[in-house]
Amino acid sequence: MKTLIQNDLVRNFVAGEWQEGDDNASIKVEDPATGEIITYCALASDETLERALKGARQCFENGDLKNLSPLAKATLLRRVAFEIRKIADEGAELLCRESGKALDDAKSEFIEAADYFDYYSGIADKIEGKSIPLGPGYVDYTILEPYGISAQIVPWNFPVSLAARGLAPALAAGNSVIIKSPELDPLGIAALGIALERAGAPKGSVSILNGIGSDLGAKLVASKDIDQIVFTGSVPTGQAILKSAANEVVPALMELGGKSAGIVYADADIEEVLESVKWGIFFNAGQVCSALSRLLVCQERYDEVLQRCVELAEGLSVGHGLKNSSLTPVISEAQLCKIEAKIARASADGAIIATGGKRLQRDGHFMAPTILCNVAPESRIAQEEIFGPVLCVIPFKDNEEAIQIANNTEFGLVAGVFTKDLSIAHKSASALKAGQVFVNEWYAGGILTPFGGVGKSGFGREKGVEAFYNYVRTKNIAIKL
Ligand code: NAD
C-alpha cells in the first residue's frame, strides 16, 4: 500500500486525492504493545475539510453516485468489497500494530468491512417506495432519497469495521460520506480509502480525514453543509455532537457506550458461560461497546462461577497482537490510567479484586485481566463503562432481582441470558432493557442483525436491513389526476 504511507506520513483521502494537511500538522501513531512510534499522520486542516465538503457536495449534486443505475451502484459496492479483501492481510498488520489488537481479529475486521459492502450491495438495487391508495382521482407514491452529505465519526476500538458499517449503507443509498478517523489508530481506515479508490468510487463520494475529535471532528459535525451525522463513541462526545446537530437541525444516529449484563441462571451451561466471558470481556482487551462487563450469577452457582472466571483470567496468554495473544494491550497510556483509577476507587468503595487490578509490568499498555467481586450493583464500578478487561461478578437471589440489577444502569446496549429453559430465556429477553439480547452466546448475531441502544447507549439502529433506512428519507408524491 505505497500510497498510504509516504515519507513516514499517512495522508488524508480528500475527494479522491491523497493529500497532506495544509499546515503541516501531524500526530504520531503508536504501537500500544511496545510504545514505539509506527508512523505519523497528517492532520486535515480547515481548508482540507472545506475541500472534502465541496467535493462531497459536487459529487452529490452531479449525481455521480446517486444517479448511477441501481445495478451499477450494487456492482460498485461489490467491487469495494473485493478490493477490501485484497488488502486485508496488509491492512490487518497495520491495524494490529496501531490498535494493539490480535492480528487475526484485525484481519476479521477487514473481512467484516468487506462483508458490509457485499451485504448492502444487495439492497442498493432494491430501494423501493410504496404506492398509497387515495381513492379515485389520485395517485400517490413514495420515493426514498439519500440525505446528501453524511458526516461519520468513528472510534478507535473497531475503526475499520465500524467505518464500513456506516459507509456501506450510506453509499448504497447514494449519499456522499466524510469520515473523521480516530486519532489513535487512523491507518486501517486510511487503507479503506485505497480500496475505495481502486474500486472506482466516484471522486467526492468518500473522504477520509485525520484529525483530533475536539477540533476537526467538532468542526465537521458543526458544518452547515452536512445533512446527517453518524456517530459511534462515548456518551459525553455524543451529547456534544447532539448539541451541534440541534443547532443546524441535522438528523443524527448515536451508537454510544454500555454496561451490559449477562445473567447466569442455575441451569446454565458453565462452559458456555466461560466461553462468553472470554470473548465478552477479554476480547480486544475489553474495549468493546457491547462488552460483557457485569456477570450476574444466581447465588447457588456464584462461588463456582467466580472461581472459574478467575482461573480463566489467570490462564490467558498475554502479548503482542502480532502473536495473536488472548490478552492484548489497551489502546493508550491514558486509557490504562483511567482503568487503574476506576479500580482503585472501586476498591475504596468495598469491591474485592479477585484477580488482576493493575497494569502488568512489561512494555506497552497492558492491563491485567481483572475480576471484581463484592461489588454493590449501584456502585460506580458497576454503573460506569470501564472499557478495559475488567469484569464485575455480582450475585442475585431470584430472577426478578437479576432483571432489576441488569436494568439498573443508564445504559441499555446489549444484555445476555444463560439458561437451558426457553421460557425463562424468552421472559428475560422481553424484560431486559437493551437493544439486543444474547441467549447462551455473547455476541450471537452479526452484520445481519440490527444493533443499537436504548437509554444512554444511544438511538437508531446499525447493521441489518433496518440500518439502511437510516440513510434515506421518504418523499411522498400525491397527484390529483
Ligand atoms: P470518543 O467519544 O472519545 O471518540 C469517538 C470519536 O469521536 C473519535 O473519532 C474522536 O476523535 C471523536 N470526537 C471526540 N470529540 C469530538 C467532538 N467534540 N466532536 C466530534 N467528534 C469528536 O470515544 P472513544 O473513546 O473513541 O470510543 C469509546 C467509546 O465508544 C465507548 O464509550 C464505547 O462504548 C463507544 N462505542 C460504541 C459503539 C456502538 O456501536 N454502540 C461501538 C464502539 C464504541
Q: Quote the ligand 1 centre to 382 CA distance (angstroms).
A: 21
Q: What is the DSSP letter of 455?
A: G
Q: Distance between CA atoms of 127 and 173, rounded to whole angstroms?
A: 8
What is the per-residue pLDDT across 431-462, written as a single tens digit (0 to 9) for each? 999 999 999 999 999 999 999 999 999 999 99
Evaluated on CA atoms 416, 420, 426, 428, the torsion sign reads negative
CA torsion angle for 114, 120, 121, 122 (degrees, to 10)?
120
Which among 381, 382, 354 is positioned nearest to 368, based on CA atoms? 354
What pLDDT score was predicted for residue 77? 98
Cβ of residue 156 lying under 6 Å from some atom of ligand 1: yes
Length of the chain: 481
Q: Distance between CA atoms of 207 and 180, rounded to whole angstroms?
A: 9
Residue 67 to residues 62, 121, 172, 174, 227, Cα–Cα distance (Å):
8, 15, 11, 8, 18
Q: Distance between CA atoms of 292 and 434, rounded to whole angstroms?
A: 13
From start to end of 265-367, where are the E strands? Answer: 292-298, 352-355
What is the per-residue pLDDT across 454-466, written as a single tens digit (0 to 9) for each? 999 999 999 999 9
Instruction: Indicate which residue of 255, 373, 385, 462 is catalytic.
Output: 255
Cβ of residue 109 lying under 6 Å from some atom of ligand 1: no
Q: Quote the ligand 1 centre to 257 CA distance (angstroms).
A: 9
Q: Which atom of ligand 1 is nearest to the CA of 240?
A: 18
Cβ of residue 34 lying under 6 Å from some atom of ligand 1: no
Q: Quote the ligand 1 centre to 161 CA distance (angstroms).
A: 14
Q: Distance between CA atoms of 13 and 208, rounded to whole angstroms?
A: 5
Q: Distance between CA atoms of 354 and 345, rounded to whole angstroms?
A: 15
Cβ of residue 185 lying under 6 Å from some atom of ligand 1: no
Cβ of residue 292 lying under 6 Å from some atom of ligand 1: no
* Threshold 0.85, pTM exceeds: yes
What pLDDT score was predicted for residue 2? 56
Q: Which atom of ligand 1 is nearest to the CA of 235?
A: 32
DSSP three-state, residue 223: coil
With contact defined as beta carbons under 8 Å apart, do 135 and 465 qualify? no
Grid coordinates of 118: 457485499
What is the C-alpha end-to-end distance of the chain, expressed in Å? 58
| Best probe residue, ligand 1, of 29, 158, 237, 284 (max atoms within 8 Å of C-beta) | 237
| Ranges of residues in the chain whose predicted pLDDT is under 50 | none
What is the per-residue pLDDT across 231-254, written as a single tens digit (0 to 9) for each? 999 999 999 999 999 999 999 999
Q: Quote the ligand 1 centre to 436 CA distance (angstroms).
A: 20
Rounded to 10°, the helix 159-173/187-199 angle is 30
Radius of gyration of the chain (CA): 23
What is the per-residue pLDDT across 341-386, written as a single tens digit (0 to 9) for each? 999 999 999 999 999 999 999 999 999 999 999 999 999 999 999 9
Q: Quote the ligand 1 centre to 434 CA distance (angstroms).
A: 20
What pLDDT score was predicted for residue 1? 63
Q: Is 392 exposed, middle or buried (0-12, 13-18, 19+ CB in 10 A)?
A: buried
Residue 289: active-site member: yes
Which among 368, 331, 333, 365 is positioned nearest to 353, based on CA atoms? 368
Q: Quote the ligand 1 centre to 155 CA distance (angstroms).
A: 5
Instruction: Indicate which residue of 289, 298, 373, 392 is catalytic.
Output: 289
Which residue's CA is minimally distant from atom 22 of ligand 1?
A: 213
Q: Distance between CA atoms of 101 and 270, rounded to whole angstroms?
A: 27
What pLDDT score was predicted for residue 9? 84
